[in-house]
Amino acid sequence: MKHLDEKVAAVTGAGSGIGRALALRLADHGCRLALSDVDATGLAETERLLEGRARAVTTAVVDVADEAAVLAWADAVVADHGRANLVVNNAGVALSGTVGSLSTEDYRWIMGINFWGVVHGTKAFLPHLEASGEGHVVNISSVFGLTAQPLMSGYNASKYAVRGFTESLRQDLELTRSCVSATCIHPGGIKTNIARSARLDSSVATATGKPTEVANKEFEKSFITSPDKAAAVIIDAVRKNKRRALIGPDARVFDAMVRIAPTGYQRLITGVVRSRSAS
């Protein structure tokens, strides 16, 4: 999909962060937009920012963990816009805590949004993308889908799952000679509100020796790439039909680290976290 002009793009998590930046950039490329988010207020603000900038915009409050809601939204997008060419499964949440402390319900919550939300979006839109004659699926994983981190087992599990799902999806599409392609995106630290809206277990404070709020703010300082930059990389990946795209210098560092030391990197990261806890 080298040209995005007049293409219909559906974006989840469009009420803030990467999703909002993508909506703005896609509008500048001439796309017609179908946007969703669970946050009605944030979604309305994105829609306001697109006034006079986008050719067409529809919005819907959708919980991506709800399969029926996502299926209904996909059908509504095609009813409103006539087709769908691009879906970006971007909606996501964060969870932090030790495995021993987190509940199975915590894991179900994050997998429901981060992984099942991607599956729901892909499955709901795939038939419509096929019908359009030219389609693309973009699924947002993370640098944490490349390397594991302490205190992030739920987030790691969900983002590794997105990576595996998307890489297999891409191969399925190639095997069947589909007109649809797929790209997996691995952002590093992006300046969004995901850390502030994360679920943080009390075990974070125990493990780091710092109050949960302090540990979270320090983690947030590592977010060095803007959502707009991330959006630009994603659009470039679609136009060049890349299998995978890394976003930010930190993502490239982590990718290189796991290639050089596939298991040794774990001791390095744990040591860094421990040293920060002592400071």
For the annotated catalytic residues, the residue numbers are: 155
Distance of alpha carbon 277 from alpha carbon 279, whole angstroms: 6
Instruction: Please name the helix (run of DSSP H) or strand (run of DSSP E) that holds residue 188, with its range, or none.
Output: none
Q: Which residues contact 107 (CB under 8 A, 6 or more apart)?
A: 95, 154, 157
> Who's near 143: CB < 8 A, 6+ residues apart?
186, 187, 188, 189, 246, 248, 250, 251, 254, 255
Closest CA to 193 of 39, 49, 89: 39
Please give the structure tokens belonging to residue 137: 């699926």
Element holding 146 (H helix, E strand)? none
Query: Hey, CA dihedral for 233, 235, 239, 242, is it positive or negative?
Result: positive
Cα–Cα distance for residue pair 212/128, rounded to 1 Å: 44
